[in-house]
Amino acid sequence: MTHVATIGGGSGQYVLLSGLREVPALEITAIVSTADSGGSSGVLRTERDILPVGDFRRCLAALATTEDEDLRFFFLEEGRFDGDGPLAQHPLMNLALAYAAEKDPGRFLGAIQRMERLLKVRGHVFPVTLAKVDLCAEFANGEIVRGEHLIDTGKHAGTGRIARLWLERRPDGKKDRKQIMPFKTALSAIRRADVVIVGPGDLFTSILPNVVVPHVAEALRVMKGKLVFVTSIMTKRGETSGFDAVDFFKEFEKCIGRRVDYVVCNTATPSEKAIARYAAEGAEPVNTLRLFEPAIGREGGLYGGRKLMPTDLLFEEPSGFTRHHSEKLAHVVYRIIHGLL
């Protein structure tokens, strides 16, 4: 049995886990950021004083193996309540997790464990920390933004790159607030994993919020397994504008203090429709050319000692929305595990 740990958040981790669920002989641990502050998660974390549930919902749904049609209807559909009332835009699983987080003796962890049993989840889903936190970013011009959803909006495109990222405990009225600590089981999963997969996902609002939790970077430095970084397909306005594939993994490496072992990158070009759709949002396809410039002395599929895995990973919806293809991505992971790359 091969132990695979994933680190991320958002829809990217859902795509990865959906593919890994079908790979045999894997022990899967999903480690999830708790800095999400937008949408349904943001409302529930504020109103109910709980950890944000949305990214946990996605991971649980991705790893669910239940064939019960009723459970799948209630909890695995992506639908949300319509209208403008208090339930508007809430998925039912978010509400169920919020309820269980209040009522279960184990609080948030108990809620996750109940849903794992109910949906017959393959593997486990853990928070990177149990602390209630806000994500903070300082931009190149000195502007400081607090709140993942405010960083994620991309309204800061004119302020330069993000220079610094950190977490602060959410205000709770207490003068003596404890230090933010990692969830020990998540740290243990990183240290003992045969493969740790980082991404895909928004670099500064889904991936790095995990790494800036104290001791997580250290765990990644001392782990004995293979460290895999999956680059994004598109840049994101206000976060990774102008980034190419090298910028993505080097920014991650700077935060953890070590080099990754494998870089997985998409080589397929999105359609003109998709490119136009993202251009309207200030985004563009992630350029991979620098990975293959002869001047860097690339030999044997290496980039500075990192094993490159360029391949067609593109999945494009009719609307022009792009993401990684879950099965193709899982196949790359399978080949890494079995030493085929």
Tokens of 264: 């997985």
pLDDT recorded at residue 87: 65
As a CATH number, domain 1-33+182-341 is: 3.40.50.10680
Alpha carbon distance 182, 129 (integer Å): 4
HEC readout, 81-143: CCCCCCCCCCCHHHHHHHHHHHHCCCHHHHHHHHHHHHCCECCEEEECECCCEEEEEEECCCC
* pLDDT (average), residues 93-111: 89
DSSP letter at 193 equals: -
pLDDT surpassing 80 at residue 103: yes
What pLDDT band is residue 179 in, cutting at 50, 70 and 90? confident
- Per-residue pLDDT at 77: 79
Cβ–Cβ < 8 Å for 250, 168 = no
Give me the pLDDT at residue 178, please.
73
CA distance readout (Å), 303 to 39, 253, 332, 334: 39, 14, 18, 21
Residue-level pLDDT at 333: 95
Res. 341: pLDDT tops 60: no
Amino acid 295: pLDDT: 46
pLDDT reported for residue 175: 47
Mean pLDDT of 254-283: 96
Taking 80 as the threshold, does the pLDDT of residue 171 lie above it?
no
For the chain, domain boundaries = 1-33+182-341, 37-123, 133-169
Q: What is the pLDDT of residue 279?
A: 96
Q: Which residues contact 95 (CB under 8 A, 6 or more apart)?
A: 44, 87
- Using the predicted structure, report yes or no on whether residue 71 has a pLDDT greater than 60: yes
Mean pLDDT across 276-282? 95
pLDDT at residue 301, as a whole number? 80
Mean pLDDT of 146-161: 81
| CB 230, CB 308: distance < 8 Å | no
**Percent of the chain clearing pLDDT 90 (strictly above):** 74
Average pLDDT score over the chain = 91
Those residues with Cβ within 8 angstroms of residue 283's Cβ, 6 or more apart along the chain or in another chain: 234, 235, 236, 237, 241
Q: Distance (Å, rounded) from C-alpha 335 to C-alpha 10?
A: 25
Q: Looking at residues 33-42, what average pLDDT do you find?
A: 88
Do 4 and 20 form a contact (C-beta atoms < 8 A)?
A: yes
Region 301-318 average pLDDT: 92
129/123 Cα distance (integer angstroms): 18
Residue 176 is predicted with a pLDDT of 46
> What average pLDDT does range 137-149 have in this prediction?
93
Could you tell me if 62 and 115 are in contact, meaning their C-beta atoms sit under 8 angstroms apart?
no
Rounded distance, CA 204 to CA 232, Å?
12
Residue 298 is predicted with a pLDDT of 46
Q: Residue 7: which H helix or E strand, with range?
A: strand 2-8
Using 50, 70 and 90 to split pLDDT, how confident is the model at 170? confident
| pLDDT average, residue stretch 299-310 | 82
Whole-number pLDDT of residue 172: 61
Interhelix angle 92-103/39-48, rounded to 10 degrees, is 20
